[in-house]
Structure 1
């Protein structure tokens, strides 16, 4: 990745449902809960995402979420990306761009800057995701 690692979270998918059956795939929705660090601050995340699965293994997804800290920092985000998954399993990997909104001084520097995300789900619905702040090459 081109940029500075600014966050890492681990957690679990806590809910999933099929939203729509499409001609060559399906649309699903999932909600995750995870804990980790964002810009050096311990944080908790809850996010809801929808994914369009195009068989056999191509996925497009978008989502929304909120990250909070014990000290009251709050950031909301939208995310959009693509990935690959395994049909019949929750295993998947996504690469996406996240856009933050926060009035918290510690996290407001992310406002208006694309944040790159690598998001992995294993076969037991455990999630692990990392965030990189975009850095322009000079």
Structure 2
């Protein structure tokens, strides 16, 4: 069941490259930076994910990143999701994310699964929301 919203952020794609994928579908690597809130704290985040085009036109994405709180708190994350290409050139991803942190402030995150909504517009602007999965 979808629980409370525990995070949100907005940002920008900072780099992209096409990865070699012999015999497979095209795969794009994307890195982004964002600012927002996680567990009530102001945060900055840097992440990188790959997205592979599938036969049905959807994207399978997986990635990892680091979130830093405004007082030095840190958490890392890994996640996977499905992306849907939109007519306006944007992509909407939905998926799950898992955290690891030794920071007391973010320690609750290590025992939950998060469900995310993440969107990238045609100009590379990002926005995301994170919900606790109960």
The alignment's TM-score, normalised by the length of structure 1, stands at 0.89
1:45–1:65 Cα contact (<8 Å) kept: yes
Aligned position for 1:47: 47
Range 15-24 or range 3-12, more displaced: 15-24
Aligned position for 1:57: 57
2:99 is aligned with 1:100? yes
Q: Deviations over 1:4-52 (max 9, x none)?
A: 0011000000000000356574101000000000011000000000010
Aligned position for 2:71: 71
- RMSD after superposition: 2.0
2:88–2:122 Cα contact (<8 Å) kept: no
Q: In structure 1, how many angstroms separate the alpha carbons of the residues matched to 2:24 and 2:47?
A: 26
Q: In structure 2, how many angstroms separate the alpha carbons of the residues matched to 1:38 and 1:106?
A: 10
Q: In structure 2, how many angstroms separate the alpha carbons of the residues matched to 1:131 and 1:110?
A: 11
> Could you list the runs of 5+ residues in structure 2 that have no partner in the other structure?
none
The equivalences for 1:121-136 within 5 A come to 121-135=120-134
Aligned position for 1:10: 10
Aligned position for 1:116: 115
Residue 57 of structure 1 and its aligned partner are, at CA, apart by 3.0
Q: What secondary structure, in the 3-state scheme, does the structure 2 residue paired with 1:108 have?
A: helix
Range 41-50 or range 51-60, more displaced: 51-60
The alignment's TM-score, normalised by the length of structure 2, stands at 0.92
How many residues are matched? Answer: 134
